[in-house]
Structure 1
């Protein structure tokens, strides 16, 4: 979330635009990664990392979620620098998951169905700026293949009225400051959490009841 002055400006803009945050449950990916032994990592960006973390840590098969910054340098990977919108970072989460319990494609389906509006360029309601862009950071060639195929599939499906602008990117992930970690769990009554992230967790439970864990 932006510092308060920027947040107020973004909120005024968002109220005027008021776009939908997601298309609801989107089709399952036709191309997915094969089940594999051992844990794997996914890195996803799509708006404030508080909500991404809150959703994915409640998905069955996910072992750990860390909020952080992806797509920029280590030297600039701190909140005050990223908020300047000049570092190239995106607010992102690093998801450690068991591919025998939840596939990479299923993580992407949750991402598009619950956490992110992939038609918004360099913003996610109510946050504005390239650090809030919708972006996928594949960790291996198979993930890149699945992500590209899924974006193309969703584009053909008509799930969204506007073109998908989610980017496939590369770059390291750096954990965010400690106070950003487990933010919803530690601050359940924070106004931003109540307004924007509690509904996302509710959507995960409604759309993916077999994967949801409280």
Structure 2
């Protein structure tokens, strides 16, 4: 898949200065965090958990798949530099495979599901419209299975999960799963990458 085959969202927020947040789930949060934290206009990315039924979320319980939470990331961004729709474009084209149900590669379970947790009606409209746009255009070989759900709560993951790819360069999972996604972002969308990382 090339950058040319992946369209920009037809519906997006206005690029106004300020700070906004987006919560996305696309498999292991080490990988999604690594992709988004090098993007221009992204101020911070926090790994955590969202979308569950339990009142608290800790890795040892979430990883069993029994809490309903997904591994997710909280992105703080400046919409004057990168819009919500542009974040979704990277989410769908680079950060994960949105056609895999309740898994990403060898990571299997609802905690690895593809999900967009929207903070308001505008985010919901943009997400739903973009999924329809991509499916209608047949951009991916299979239908998108990404869940679009309201953001109830985001639980910050344990400290050792934060900036994991950056601090664990030799970890085989980072080398084989995370690094190729970062390389794909740099290759397909070099203009989206911060000049200094």
| TM-score band w.r.t. shorter chain | over 0.9
Deviations 1:32-87 (A, max 9, x none): 11123320000000100000100000000000000000012563310011011011
Q: Which runs of 4+ in 1 moved over 3 A?
A: 73-76
Q: Does 1:188 align with 2:155?
A: no
TM-score by length of 2: 0.94
SS at match of 1:58: coil
Q: Does 1:202 align with 2:183?
A: yes
Query: What number of residue pairs does the alignment pair up?
Result: 192
Q: What is the aligned-residue RMSD (CA, Å)?
A: 1.2
SS at match of 1:131: helix
TM-score by length of 1: 0.87
Residues 15-34 of structure 1 correspond to what in structure 2 (within 5 A)?
Answer: 23-25=1-3, 26-34=6-14
Change in Cα spacing, 1:187 to 1:207, as seen in structure 2 (3 Å) is same
Change in Cα spacing, 1:88 to 1:30, as seen in structure 2 (3 Å) is same
Residues 117-156 of structure 1 correspond to what in structure 2 (within 5 A)?
Answer: 117-156=97-136
Gaps in structure 2 of 5+ consecutive residues = none
Corresponding residue for residue 101 of structure 1:
81
Corresponding residue for residue 65 of structure 1:
45
**Aligned equivalents of 1:76 and 1:83: distance in 2?**
13
User: Quick one: which of 13, 16, 19 aligns to 1:39?
Assistant: 19
